Structure formats: C-alpha cells, structure tokens
Amino acid sequence: MSQPAFQMCPCGSGLRTVRCCGMTPGAMPPPESSRHLVPLVERAVIAHRQGAIETAERLCLDVLELAPDRPGALTVLYQIRKDQGNHTAAEALLRRVVALDPNSFVATNEFALLLLAKGAIQEAEVQARNAIRIAPQNPQAHNLMGMILTEAQRPRAGEYHYRQVIELSGARDPILLANLAWNLKNQGRMEEGRALYTESVAAAPNIRQTLLGWARLEEADRKFDAAAEILDRMEQQWPNDPGLLLSRAVLLGRMKRTDEALALLDRMAGQSADGGLGPNELAEKGRMLDQVGRYDDAFAAFAEGKRLARELSGHQYMDAAAENLISRLDNFFTAGRLATLPRATVRTDVAQPIFVLGFPRSGTTLIEQTLSAHPRIVAGDELPLIADLTGLMPRMLNSPLGYPEALAELWMGDQREGLDNLRDYYLQKVAQMGILAPGAAWFTDKMPLNETHLGLIALLFPQAPLIHAIRHPLDIMVSAMSNHFTHGMFCASALESAALHYTRVMDLVQKYRSEMTLRYLAIRYEDMVTEQESTVRSVLNFIGEPFDAKCLRFHENQRYARTASYAQVTERLYDRSRFRYRHYLKHLQPVIPILRPYIERLGYTVD
Amino acid sequence: MDPSPVIRSGAIMVPVPIDELLAVAAHYERTGKMQEADRLLSHILAVAPNQPDTLHLSGVVAFRLGRQQEGLEKMEKAIAYGVDIALYLRNICEVYRTLNRLDDAVAAGRRALALAPSDPMCLHNLAVIHYERVEIEDSIAAADRALTMKPDMAGAHFARAEALLIKGDWEQGWEEYEWRFQIADAARMMPPTGKPQWDGKPFDGLLLLVADQGFGDIIQFSRYIPWVLERCPNAAIAGSREMIPVLRQFLPEDRIFVRWEDCPAFDAFIALSGLPRLHGTRVDRVPAPVPYLHADPERVAAWRERLRPLAPGSYKRIGIVWAGRPTHNNDRRRSATLADFAPLAALPGVALVSLQKGPPADQAGAYFGRAPLINIGAEVRDYNDTMALLESLDAVVTVDTSVGHLAAAMGKPTWILLATSPDWRWLLGRSDTPWYPTVRLFRQTRPRVWADVFQAVAAALAAPGEPDADSAMPKRQRSAASAG
C-alpha cells in the first residue's frame, strides 16, 4: 500500500518495488497467462550467453514487469546483477528463484553458496539440506553440506559429507581432499589432515588455497618450520600474494619475530593496489604494533580494520533486533513465571554440559582449555546449539509464538515434556559432533554470549555448571577492536556497539540471576592469570571434580582451539593481556561512560 | 468603547495571609498529604523565601518525601533565620540522627532542651540519641527527667526500658517494657477486650497467647510456651499465618488462629513478648532449651537434594541474609548490603546460600564474588522451607533478622552481625548471648560501618574447625590461651 506504484525497488534489481521485493503474495497472475513471453525469455538467455548483456537485461526487465514469476528471466537477471557486483539485488532475485522452484538443484546450490560466502551460515545450512533432499546422490550436494558444517563448527558431521563425496564420485579430487584436510584440522586431527594435504598437493601442486590451508595447519600444530617451508614454496610462484604474506606475518608473529612481521605487513600495504590492507591484515598488524608498544598506531590499524570490515561485509550491529530480543527475554523470565514452568529432567546416561559463558574475548577459550585438560572433561568448543534451539523451539513446541514466548506452551498438558525434547535435541547433536570421548563425564560449550539465553539454558539443564568468564570490560573492548567476530549480532563491528551490547547482556544476566536459582560461578580472567591454581581449584570444586594438575599446564594440551584465542592459549599464561586497556585509555574514552557501571560493579577501576 | 478586559480566574490575586496558608500546609502535613503540603509550601517560599516557619515545615515535608539533603538544608536555614525556636532544633535533631550525624544530633538536642527546659519531648529525643550513641546511662538519665515532667509519657518509659534491658537490668527493664503498648503510634496488638492480662499464676480458664511484634521476637519468645502450658493447660494462640510452622511445634494446629474473628472466647490474654517478665527471666537465668525448633525431615531431605547439585564438592555452605524488612524502624542501622559480604566471598571453599527475601534480594544479580552464591531465596515459600534449608547448611551469617533467630533456635552455628547500638536483647560488649548457645555476635565498632565487621567474620570463618556448632565461645579467649 505504502509503495508508490512507480517506485524502483531499493534492492537495485532494476524492477519496480511492486514487481520485486514489495510484491504482494497471491497477486501474481497464473503462470499460463504469460506463456507467450517464453520466447522473450529464450532470447534473453541467448543474448546473455553471447555477451549482449544490455539486451539480455532489457528483455528480462520487460518480461518480469509483465510476469514477475518467470524463473528463467529471474535467473538471467540474477547472473547479470551478480556479475555487476550488486549483491543485494542478486540475493533477492536468487531467493525468489528458489522460492518459485524449490526443486531446482542448481538454484538451491547457487543460493547456498551465496549465503555461505556472505556468512549467513544458518540460512545456508537450510538450503544445503534441501539440496541433499533434491539430489541425495549428487556429490556437490554433499560437498556443500561438508563446507557449511565445517564453517558452522560442526566438523564431525561435515566430515561425513566430505567422505560421501569421495564415495559417490569414486574419485579423490585434490580440492575435496584439501577441504577434508581443513575439516580434520578443525577437529584437531592434525596427522590425518597433514596426510590429506600431502596427497592433495601431490596430485595438484599449485592450488593456492590448499597450500595456505596446509601452512595454517602446520602453524596451528606448532610446526613452524614446516609451515615456513610451504610458504617458501608458495613464494616462488606467487611472490606478492596477500594471503601468503599475511600467513607469513602471522607465522613470524607466533615465532616472536615481530619486527619482521611488521615489515612484511608494511610491504603489503605498500604494494596493495588500493593502497591498504584488508580487515584481517589490519587486525594482525595492529596486534603486532601492540606487541612492540606502538599503541596509537595499533589502535589506528584496529579502527581502520573495523571500518573496512563494515564496508566490505555490510555488517553492522543489529541494534533494534538486539534491543527487541533482550527486552523480551527480560520481560519473560520472571520469578513468578519461572515458578510455574517445568524444568527438563537430568539425564544420567550421557555426559553433561558445562556452559562457559561470557562476552567474546573475555577468557572463555582459556577456561575451556584449562578444564578440558582434566581427564573427565572434554572440550565442545563454540556449540551453535543453544542458538539453534531458540530458532527451532516454536516448531518443536508447536507454538504460534517466537522465542522466548513459545515457552508458554509448556503450560499445555501435551507439552509438559517439551523441555526434555529440546534437551535431547541438544545432547543428540553433541553426540553426532563426535565431541564426547570415552570416560568423559562433562563437555564444555563455550559459545560466547550464551548468557543471553541463561534462562533457557537453566530450564534445559537445571544442574549444569554455568561458568561466566569475567574480565575488565575495557580489556574486552581492546580485544574486540583487535579481532573480528560476528557474535552478538555484529556488535563488534564498532567500539560503541560492542560496549552497548556488553551492558545490555550484562543487565540481562543480572535479571536472570535475581529471578532464578542458578548454578552460576563468575571466574575472572585476571585471577586465572595471577592466581591460577586457586582459581582452577575453585572452578573444579564447583563442577564437583577433583583437582588435576594437568589443568595448570593446559598449554601442553594438544587440542587446538579454533577460535581467535588459539595463539594465546597455546602459550603459557602471560600478564601482558591484563589491564592492556591502560595503553588505549584515550581511544576508549567514548565507551567509558557506557561501561562505567559494570566496571564498578565488577570491582574494577579505570586507572 | 474599550472592550471589557477578559478576567481569568488564575489572574485574580487574592491576598491570603501567609499564616493562613501555612496553617493549611501544616494541616496537610499532619494528615499525611505530603504532596499537597509540598506544593503549597513551595508557593509560599516563592513569595517569602526566608520565612522560618515555612522553611522549617517545608524541610520536614521534603525529608518525609525522601529528599533528605534538601530537607536538612531547609531546616538548617530555618534555624539560621528563626531565632531560638526549640521545635526547629527538636526536629532537626531527629533528622541528624536518621542521617547518622550523631554529634550534630546530640548538640541540637541539647540546644533544644536549653530553649525549652520543660519540654519532655526534647528529653525523650535525647534519650533516644544517647541510646544510639551507646551512652546508656545518659539515655536513662534523660528518660528519667522526661518522666519527672510527664510521668505517663509512654515513649520515655519505652526508651528507658530499652536502655535498662540492654545494660542487663532486666528486673526493672521488663516492667518499663510494659509501656510499649501505650506508645501513640504503636500498632495495636489486638482488638479491644475487657478481659484481663494474664499474671503468670496457674490459671484454669482459656488463655489466649498473642504472637506479637516481629517474627524474630515470636521465634525468640516461643520458648516460653511450654512454661505457660505448665501453668495454664488450656491455651490457644493468635498469630500470623507465616508463623504457623513455628507455633505448631508447641501447640496443636487447631489451637492456632490467624484471624481474630476465629479466636475462641478467652478468659485472659498475654503477649509472647510479655512472658520474660512473668517468667522472671534474668541475664543469668535465661531458659534456652536449644534446639527448640526442628525442621521437617522430609523437607530437609528435599532441600538437601535441591542444594547438592547447586553446590557439590567440598563447600562450607554458609547461609546469608544481608538486610531486614525495610519497614523495620531500625532497618537502616541493622541492614547491610550483599557487597559488604565481599570478605566472605573471597574465602576458598565457601559457598554462600542466600536466604534473603524481599526487594534487597535483587542484589544477588549484581554479585560477582569468587565464592559461588546460590540465590535460593526465591524458591523458599515459607518458614518450613527456611528451617529445612537451614538444617542443610553448615552455618548462617546474618544481620539481625528473623532468620538469625530461627537458625539459633534450631541450634545451628549462627553468626549475627550487629549495629553499634543493637536491639536490647543482644546486650552490650559480649560476643555470646544467653538466649542462644550457638550464636556468636559480631559488633560494629563505628556506627553503620560494616567493613571491619565482615573482615572479622571472614577471619573467624577461615579459622580451622569453624564454624563450630559446639562452641560459641569467643575465639579471642582460645587464642589468648594458646598464645600463653
């Protein structure tokens, strides 16, 4: 109603809004009424194939103006917009193609790849699952699923699909082998990954991505010489490749040859066509400048990295969505309502979760590495399952409402066991991921910001230990600036939004804790550094496990953490990361007023 | 012809004398219409900003509306502009006391008395301030002087009672304590009755016990019920519903009444708080048959099961309460905050179990100490639950609240943290109490400063073997012995 009929669609497709994203469902003419347009679509396809892009585009727009649901015209127009780099329009058009023709493998595959490239992994997974339903024997369908599950940090399930590709294709494609090797590296199975990289490179010696991945595996496995050797080999072929130079810089940084690493990054900046580095390069550069004490330069690199990341990805903090979700959670989880809701029962036949909560960069990886050095605790890493459950819950509880209001279904006689089903979904997924080792009584789930869902977690796992990593909020901000992560609705795309999201979530945690009886323990990152043994003892006592000295030597823990913290946790605990904010006080001024209440409440100071 | 000017009602200035407006404002203040009084007074002050009576009344109103600083400033200004008016000083004296400015309070109280030497209210105020300053003899002297002027002044009798009781003169203290029901703004204990108060002698008629005052008092004085039943087997008790779990440990439930209209016709009555007097209790003769309250074993089992997964491992489970009922007239002196418990939270191997109820319970959300805090208060429905939960704990550390009495009556190791001028029942200077053998008292050394108290509690809790149910003897004595 509100769209004037002549207005062009903001997605940039070139169609009018009413023929594009503002189309009223059901207002479409029946398909047979536009059959006379089929020859035009055919001409558009041919024109496009022959490179007559303008003709093809004109034809598509004409057809779609009359019959906006012609998949052929939509597909050609999608190709054109994609090639023009108009991602918004391309996505809108392809989404429509898939909706019109849900059984098209090609379109579904294309759409899943587009979503994966954009980082919309959850949505990509939905499409990949469809692709397998459409073509269960198609190796590409399984390849897609393998890539997505690996990216979604469920490498064990991803491995299954990669192995399906090998079986269905009857061949050992070198790129597939490299993908599988990367998957195995993410599972910490370095030897097997190395063997596959060796095989892949023997068959196809000059695949850039393969060599970069292999070098990353060696670096993560602390085989610095082997990594350097691979990079040397790449250098002969691609002497100025930015990926190579960055990997080299990272490697030099881990080998403590910081000056050389910085020189390399400067060289990259000098040679890059647009005169600058990418977001990852800038973050790496900032971290190295930090190491050598050039703090102003470091922060400038961080800030530029954030700006560039925003520009390239289009991601910024989903302020309104975050505010909406958090206020709904705040309203829903009240002591009065909680007293009337059931709790899931506690399974005694399987390993139980330990939730390691906290804002990204607050020490969750360190706590997980420490705990998983214990013989009875295995690391689950960042499990996406609680977030998955919040999406699945309305369907699983058969509710017309969203999360968290869908929990109201638990008041219905036929949904009293609803929480048990949700709990079992979580535990079953964990089992499928291959996290659980024999003899493990516990596994960790360290998905940052899971504390947003503390109420749901406590309903599902009323006896699970909730370990909340606490760190000086300003140190978290420095760390959020020097790393890129998407958790918390992209709050870390800017300093101010990271601070805002931090306080929103902490307010919510405070609410949960005053309304519910929780098995909750706050652990300070700083205590882990300065009073390691007593802190570790207290966490283990809280979990109910005997102290084990191996937990103090977690850096010997061979398990490789996939997240950005991995480089730190494989080193001995060091004091440099404590109160690092002091070097950046003037840069942090804009967020100090936002964070001050929590700085004080947590017992920290600004000095 | 000029048009007639339009007259608006608000534009008409009718000169009303300030005195009359002030009288209206004072009437509002007396009848509790603080907002109306506040608005009217601000109009008067706009015209006459330095008029002392207006400033004074406006200060009183601001103070009662919670704007303490503004109230104090106005009252001080009234004193500066008004010349030697005893009422101003008498009132500001109470404000200073509320704000913990005890030196200013006593100075203002003395000046008020100098200006109005025959006003017993001034002396009564002084008696209260001296009690708060733990100047007990001065408090008694002031109350005595007030009573020579006005022998039936209930407030002064009560102030005298509290002073006598806290210094251990219980024989005189109990007698004066009887005046508590005559205090003007005291809540009425029961509907008017023509029946006599029981005198403590053997009695055949039906005696109605009244479980009066706060829950702590009821728990403390319920110990006398068996003594009453020996003299008077035909007894019933009236009390609030919440206290049934306590009272039914002494009387069958069909003898407990929670509504006046349900009470049986009785021949005499007695308040529980009147029993120590009838019993002739003295500091060295306190009946303390501890434990005299017991938790229901089934509930204990259920609560142990509830607590087990929340604090497994080898924790000392310490129940804590940081604040009392906010409406208690002594609450600002007796209550602490959860943040004050920080020294306990820093102890290894301690789990804090919050038994806190009411609005202060929200502080649990902002706790980030090292010891786990189990915020179980929200799941506690009644005193049966509280007792069962207490039974499942190793010890209780609490400010002066009913939970302290409950744990103590159950014989749990109970550490009670007291203001410099505590309730009379805790006496002065001692770390034990004749009322409860397993209680250990920790006293403030400076008014409303908790830091050193909690440091002392933490140090005591960290000592090996603490808390120890068998001995509440001051550890000072032990260490002195071992040092020698």
Contact indicator for A54, A83 with CB cutoff of 8 Å: no
- What's the whole-number mean pLDDT along residues A232-253? 87
User: How many whole angstroms separate alpha carbon B227 and alpha carbon B278?
Assistant: 10
CA-based nearest residue in chain B for residue A525: B370
pLDDT (tens digit per residue) in A531-546: 999 999 999 999 999 9
Res B1: pLDDT = 41
A517 vs chain B: nearest CA distance in angstroms? Answer: 5
- What's the whole-number mean pLDDT along residues B279-306? 95
Counting residues of chain A whose pLDDT is more than 70, the rounded percentage is 94
Residue owning tokens 């810089």: A249
Closest CA to B88 of B101, B71, B103, B100: B71
pLDDT (tens digit per residue) in A339-390: 889 999 999 999 999 999 999 999 998 899 899 999 999 988 888 899 989 9
Tokens coding B230: 């020996």
pLDDT surpasses 90 at B457:
yes
Does A335 contact B at CB distance below 8 Å? yes
Q: Are strands B414-418 and B439-443 parallel, antiparallel or unpaired?
A: parallel
pLDDT surpasses 90 at A405:
yes
CA dihedral B317, B323, B327, B330 (to 10 degrees): 120
pLDDT band at B478 (very low <50, low <70, confident <90, very high): very low
Q: Report CB contact under 8 Å: A511, B365.
A: yes
pLDDT surpasses 70 at B9:
no
Sort out which chain B residues have CB atoms less than 8 A from A517's CB and list them.
310, 374-376, 378-379
Say which DSSP state B369 is in. Answer: -
pLDDT (tens digit per residue) in B311-355: 876 889 999 999 988 776 677 888 999 999 999 999 988 999 999
Say which DSSP state A552 is in. Answer: G
Contact indicator for A126, A114 with CB cutoff of 8 Å: no
Q: Report CB contact under 8 Å: B364, A513.
A: yes
Does A435 contact B at CB distance below 8 Å? no
Residue-range domain boundaries for chain A: 1-101, 347-601
Q: Report CB contact under 8 Å: A470, B368.
A: yes
**Among A512, A540, A542, whose Cβ lies nearest the Cβ of B372?**
A542
Residue pairs between chains A and B whose CB atoms are closer than 8 Å: 68
Closest CA to A132 of A155, A96, A157: A157
**Among B349, B364, B372, whose Cβ lies nearest the Cβ of A514?**
B364
A173 vs chain B: nearest CA distance in angstroms? Answer: 51
Helix/strand/coil for A84:
coil
User: How many whole angstroms separate alpha carbon B262 and alpha carbon B258?
Assistant: 8
Beta-bridge mates of residue B209: B237, B270
Residue owning tokens 């975050």: A322
CA-based nearest residue in chain B for residue A340: B379
**Among A346, A513, A602, whose Cβ lies nearest the Cβ of B375?**
A513
| pLDDT greater at residue B479 or residue A358 | A358
Res B474: pLDDT = 40
**Helical H segments across B133-274, by residue range:** 136-149, 154-166, 170-177, 215-221, 225-231, 244-247
B315 vs chain A: nearest CA distance in angstroms? Answer: 8
Q: Are strands B350-354 and A377-379 parallel, antiparallel or unpaired?
A: unpaired
Beta-bridge mates of residue A469: A523
User: How many whole angstroms separate alpha carbon A347 and alpha carbon A355?
Assistant: 16
Q: Report CB contact under 8 Å: B365, A544.
A: no
Angle ∠(B190,B194,B200) on CA atoms, nearest 5? 75
- What's the whole-number mean pLDDT along residues A189-215? 94
Q: Report CB contact under 8 Å: B379, A517.
A: yes
**φ, ψ at A143 (rounded to 5°):** -60, -45
ipTM over 0.85: no
Tell me which CATH homologous superfamily contains domain A347-601.
Answer: P-loop containing nucleotide triphosphate hydrolases (3.40.50.300)
Specify the range with the lowest mean pLDDT, choosing from A553-557, B20-24, B297-301: A553-557
pLDDT (tens digit per residue) in A79-118: 999 999 888 899 999 999 999 888 899 999 999 999 888 7
- Options 1.25.40, 2.50.20, 1.10.20, 1.10.30; CATH of A1-101: 1.25.40
User: How many whole angstroms separate alpha carbon B412 and alpha carbon B444?
Assistant: 23
User: How many whole angstroms separate alpha carbon A567 and alpha carbon A250?
Assistant: 10
Q: Report CB contact under 8 Å: A514, B349.
A: no
Q: Report CB contact under 8 Å: B315, A541.
A: yes
| pLDDT greater at residue B4 or residue A527 | A527
**Order of strands across the sheet that contains A520-524:** A377-379, A442-445, A352-357, A466-470, A520-524
Helix axes B383-391, B297-310, angle to 10 degrees: 60
Q: Mind spelling out the 3-state secondary structure of A143-174? A: HHHHHHHHHCCCHHHHHHHHHHHHHHHCCCCH
Contact indicator for B209, B228 with CB cutoff of 8 Å: yes
Question: Considering Cα of B139, then B142, then B146, then B151, what sign does the dihedral take?
Answer: positive
A542 Cβ partners below 8 Å, 6+ apart? Answer: A465, A467, A521, B311, B312, B313, B372
Contact indicator for A249, A284 with CB cutoff of 8 Å: yes
User: How many whole angstroms separate alpha carbon A248 and alpha carbon A254?
Assistant: 10
Q: What is the pTM of this model?
A: 0.78
Distances (CA, A) of B321 to A322, B242, B335, B414: 36, 18, 9, 11
| pLDDT greater at residue A420 or residue A152 | A420
Q: Is B174 exposed, middle or buried (0-12, 13-18, 19+ CB in 10 A)?
A: buried
Q: Are strands B207-210 and B235-238 parallel, antiparallel or unpaired?
A: parallel
- What's the whole-number mean pLDDT along residues A570-584? 73
Beta-bridge mates of residue A524: A470
